[in-house]
Amino acid sequence: MTIYEPAEDSFLLSEEIKKYLKNKDKEIKILDMGSGSGIQAKTCRDLGFKNILCADIDPEAIKHFKKLKFRSIKTNLFSKIKKSKENKFDFIIFNPPYLPENELEPKDSRLATTGGKKGYEIIIKFLKQARSYLTKDGAILLLFSSLSQPKTIKSEAKKLGYTIKELSSQKLFFEELFVYLFAQ
């Protein structure tokens, strides 16, 4: 598997992270889920945040984070992150695989881009699991696409008890990207 290289979605999310963290306490605990290249973790570190955990399913990405001196864990979403008081995060970032399944896409890149048959399945699974890992005032910055069935994502998130706020969007030639803030 190849590490997901930053693209329009990564840069859009990075800009929203900068805005969100602008006046936050530098001691907050941050989880960069599905870190890929580590661009979001680097954005946080460049802003002076140090308590950052990178999580990814790809062993190559984990090696990459270690070279960049980030704490990291190889995990499929939260499967290897123990539920405990120490593993509660003030801020969780996720640029998930969000595209609907496409048989024409090469198999080795699907893990980084395909969010399930309809594109939202991994996002919904993440949102269900993430509630147990957020502090009381914690928040999630999540990116997804118009191809991910946003109405379904928002509806499921509301059922899970999240408050939802759209922070930004960007139109591309075949889709629109959205960054949302989810809080408990």
Q: Which secondary-structure segment (H or E) carries 63? A: helix 59-67
The reply to whether 174 falls in a domain is: yes
Count up the domains in the chain and report the number: 1
With 0.75 as the threshold, say if the pTM is over it.
Answer: yes
What is the per-residue pLDDT for 90? 98
The reply to whether 95 falls in a domain is: yes
Beta bridge partners of 89: 134
What is the per-residue pLDDT for 110? 44
Q: Cα(176)–Cα(149) distance, rounded to whole angstroms?
A: 11
The reply to whether 58 falls in a domain is: yes
Instruction: Give mean pLDDT in consecutive 10-residue pieces for the chain, a chain of 184 residues.
Output: 79 97 97 94 98 94 94 96 91 83 55 60 93 96 93 96 97 93 95
Q: Closest by alpha carbon to 3, among 59, 82, 79?
A: 59
| Residue 67: both structure tokens together | 């070279």
Length of the chain: 184
The reply to whether 2 falls in a domain is: no
User: Strand, helix or coil at 22?
Assistant: coil
The reply to whether 114 falls in a domain is: yes
The reply to whether 156 falls in a domain is: yes
CATH number of the domain where residue 104 is located: 3.40.50.150
Find the domain containing 36 and state its range.
Answer: 8-183
The reply to whether 101 falls in a domain is: yes
The reply to whether 166 falls in a domain is: yes
